[in-house]
Amino acid sequence: MSERYTPSELLICLASRVMEDGTTAFIGTGIPMLAASLAQSMQAPNLVAVFEFGGTGAILEKLPLAVGDMRTYNKALHASGICDIMETSQRGFIEYGFLGGAQIDPYGNLNSTCIGDVLKPKVRLPGSGGGNDVGSCCWRTIAIMPHDQRRFVEKVDFITTPGYLSGPGAREEAGLPANTGPYRVVTSLGVLDFEEKSKRMRLISVNPGVTVENVVENTGFELLMADSIEENDPPTDDELKILREKVDPDGLYR
């Protein structure tokens, strides 16, 4: 059973299932690319993949290795540039945005800049890249994270990308576009959303074989709990076949 799929494959499948057909998704490097590609082969053939350096509406036949590479506009509908894409997002055209980071807090704020003090970092991380822009202007963002105490922290060392900042109303107060913000956090242990009133992270489902206690133990802050917590289905044979044969035949993410 445990040999049937890898943790990465589970993450990719869970992220892929979140996406609705006929919407737009801002795709970053790594797992989001695989998730979007898988979604196109499953429930969302009309998912419009948008890549920050200019690719819109690509058919993701081969796994892009960079957010600007040729595969990001493979048989695409439009190949433009970063300003066009970012401005399209700023105008409200992009529904989903995928994010990742080294740390996330209860409000979905993400850190991908540094561990420790930014002025004298213990670890210098890649930086915002398009992350901050995705988190600022997409309607709904989905963070994909390995789930452990080091990553799920009460306070991130640096808010690279805004989640709900300090809580209800904070995004609007800062000037960010209204009705935007974190939507789901897909992790190695389960799927979380954000409770409407408090804007705090809430567990809505656990991954196969994972208990609610496991999630709590691996979270460095107090988690809200949904009224009923479902168990996510493991990757189906179909999903695994497409993932291994079509999406990532070289096994970069196995």
Partner 1 sequence: MEKKRKSVPITYEGEGSLIQPPDLEAFREWNRRKPKELIDKMMTEEEAVDRYVENGDYIGFELYGTVRCPMSLTRALVRSGKTDFSIAGQGVTELEYLLATDRVREIDFTYIALEVYGVSKIVRRAVESGSVKNVVEWSNAGLTWRFKAAAMGVPFIPARSMLGSDTIRRSAAKVIECPFTGQKIALLPALILDVGFIHVNRADKYGNCQIDGISGFAFEMSRACKRVIVSAEEIVDTEQIRKSPDRTIIPYYLVDAVVHAPYGSWPGEMADMYDRDEEHYRMYVEMQKTPEGTAEYIKEWVSDLPNHQALIDKVGIERLESLKIKGGAQ
- Catalytically active residues are 52
Distance CA 241, CA 20 (A): 21
Residue 57 engages partner 1 in binding (rule: CB under 8 A): no
Return the SS3 of 206. Answer: strand
CA–CA separation, 101 and 197 (whole Å): 25
How far apart CA 249 and CA 127 sit, in angstroms, is 29
Q: Can you tell me which of 66, 77, 216, 225 binds partner 1, judged by CB under 8 A?
A: 66
Q: Is 199 in the site for partner 1 (CB under 8 A)?
A: no
Report the b/e string of 160-173 with b at 16+ CB within 10 A.
Answer: bbbbbbeeeebbee
Provide Rg for the chain, Cα atoms: 17
Rule CB under 8 A: choose which of 59, 82, 224, 229 binds partner 1: 82
**Secondary structure class of 37 (helix, strand, coil):** helix
If one asks whether residue 150 binds partner 1 (CB under 8 A), the answer comes out as no
The minimum distance between CB 160 and partner 1, in angstroms, equals 6
Told to check if 83 binds partner 1 by CB under 8 A, we report yes
**Which of the stretches 35-43, 129-137, 188-196, 237-245 binds partner 1 when contact is defined by CB under 8 A?**
129-137
Which residues contribute to the site for partner 1 (CB under 8 A)? 29-30, 51-55, 65-70, 72-73, 79-83, 86, 90, 109, 113, 118, 120-133, 136-137, 158-162, 165, 170-171, 173-177, 252
